[in-house]
Amino acid sequence: MKTFGNVIWLLLFGLWEAIALFLLGCLFCITLVGIPLGLKCIKMANLALWPFGKTVEANFEEHPVGNAVWLSFGGLGMAAGCYVAGIILCITLIGIPFAKQYFKLARYAISPFGASFD
């Protein structure tokens, strides 16, 4: 079932979101200071491609400075966008599994430094 969910996710949401996150990560990687942020965007793009069957373990306390910088340079907007998309998808019964994936992406977008997903 998770393969079916991942294929539908990829066709409807994941491909566009992964491309946008990958390009944002490349943009961050242009500067030396932005490389850690860019790598987290690229890692999030990987999660955005195949989110079904993965769990996100967020730990803000592990790297508080990195997470604070991340939140100030767009992480808060990313998380808010994921939450809004998830709430909109919760309107229909069919959209609830996809909304859960957006909530998972939002959890990673809040504190990617110290977070892991498998």
Number of domains within the chain: 1
The model's confidence at residue 59, banded by pLDDT at 50, 70 and 90, is confident
Q: Is the pLDDT of residue 60 over 90?
A: no
The separation between the first and the last C-alpha atoms of the chain, rounded to the nearest angstrom, is 17
Selected residue with higher pLDDT from 62 and 8? 8
pLDDT digits (tens, 9 = 90+) for 93-117: 999 999 999 999 999 999 898 888 8
Give the model's pLDDT for residue 15. Answer: 93
Question: Which two tokens mark 4?
Answer: 């079916």
pLDDT for 29 equals 94
- pLDDT at res. 19: 95
> Can you give the residue range of the structural domain that contains 102?
2-117
Radius of gyration of the chain, Cα coordinates, nearest whole angstrom: 14
Mind listing the pLDDT tens digit for each residue in 15-50? Answer: 999 999 999 999 999 989 889 999 999 999 999 999
